[in-house]
Amino acid sequence: MSAIGTTAQNELKKILEALLLAAGEPMSVPQLVSLFEAGDELSASEIQGALDDLSTDLEDRGIELVEAASGYRLQTRRELEPWISRLWEERPQRYSRALLETLSLIAYRQPITRGEIEEVRGVSVSSSIVRTLQEREWIRVVGHRDVPGKPALFGTTKAFLDYFNLKSLDDLPSLAEIKDMENLEPEFEFDEDPLKGAVQDPAPEEDRVDNKTPEVVANDAAPDESDTPDRQDEPGTGEQQ
């Protein structure tokens, strides 16, 4: 199958479609290549070409082929969510504004310590927020800051990129786009998750921690509270796992 004809190409597209449906998680081109026997002599370029054709075939369908950080996956189109959600009685999990703001700071300023997050937000970070993000495998400890107390440095993971349909951190919205979303606050009251598009529960109002000392930040030992932060200034970079 080194020179794939029309019939063989159509067959390959059906095989790839079935593989991605059965996998239930993103698959990379090398992973797909490895599933074919040596006698098939399929190259990465042939697999990639078939994936591109499959994506075109699905343009007017209810499912789409999406490339995320870990590879390709088939998923239902987001615009069909109102109907698909009726299949389940349980409501989608809601995330507080405090959690989303903490995740955004880690994504844009990684690697970053918990104390540095608190310094930007002006409030302490709840341990439950960090635990939830780690349990979802959206963030991980990537090292420790070389200061007294050796606070952990947090960064995002490939699972984070996969969940939000991002191939890399470069696909994150620009700061200009984020500022545009902030300008919509009077109209939408920030009840919408800018990353996922799901309605969120409003974050509770709690006491602000305005007077932090360098020792508290360095040792990453602030009390556990949450509230609404100021936005970050510039994006950072971080190695994905």
Tokens of 207: 């006491």
What pLDDT score was predicted for residue 6?
67
Tokens of 25: 């998680």
Q: How far is CA 211 from CA 70, 98, 123, 216, in A?
A: 42, 19, 10, 10
Listed residue (209, 182, 211, 215) closest to 125, CA to CA: 209
The DSSP element (H or E) to which 33 belongs, if any, is helix 29-34
Between 220 and 170, residue with greater pLDDT: 170
CATH class belonging to 6-87: mainly alpha
What pLDDT score was predicted for residue 140?
95
- Is domain 97-219 given the CATH code 1.10.10.10 in the classification? yes
Domain boundaries, given as residue ranges, for the chain: 6-87, 97-219
Same fold: 6-87 with 97-219? yes
What pLDDT score was predicted for residue 197?
38
Give pTM, 2 decimals: 0.53
Q: How confident is the model at residue 42 (pLDDT cuts 50, 70, 90)?
A: confident
Q: What is the CA radius of gyration of the chain?
A: 22
